[in-house]
């Protein structure tokens, strides 16, 4: 499943995108790695994507809370 990511370019995060139907959040980091978290609800994804500090929001609310797989 290809998720369209939009540029974020803050806090070590290069881009991110969310697939509502699959409840998947995909995040590309500045180091080139891409991870996909599954089971992420709309509200969590929206707050992350709109956050002024996405790296902190990611660490606090997503990183250890949702299943993840490395895409790249």
Q: Return the bridge partners of 13, or none.
A: 10, 29
Which pTM value belongs to this model?
0.93
* Span 1-18, pLDDT tens digits: 679 999 999 999 999 999
Task: Write down the pLDDT at residue 64.
Answer: 96
Q: How confident is the model at residue 62 (pLDDT cuts 50, 70, 90)?
A: very high
Q: Are 4 and 17 in contact (CB under 8 A)?
A: yes
Task: Write down the pLDDT at residue 1.
Answer: 60
Work out the number of other CB atoms within 10 angstroms of the CB of residue 49.
Answer: 16
Give the β-pairing of 24-29 and 34-38: antiparallel
Instruction: State the Cα–Cα distance between residues 35 and 45, nearest whole angstrom.
Output: 14
Task: Write down the pLDDT at residue 2.
Answer: 78
* Span 20-49, pLDDT tens digits: 999 999 999 999 999 999 999 999 999 999
Which of 13, 59, 20 lies closest to 40 in space, CA to CA? 20
């Amino acid at each position: 499943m290809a998720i369209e990511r939009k540029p974020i370019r803050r806090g070590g995060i290069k881009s991110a995108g969310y697939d509502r139907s699959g409840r998947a959040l995909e995040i590309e980091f500045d180091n080139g790695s891409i991870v996909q978290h599954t089971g992420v609800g709309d509200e969590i994804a929206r707050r992350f994507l709109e956050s002024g500090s996405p790296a902190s929001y990611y660490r606090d609310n997503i990183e250890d809370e949702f299943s993840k797989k490395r895409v790249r």
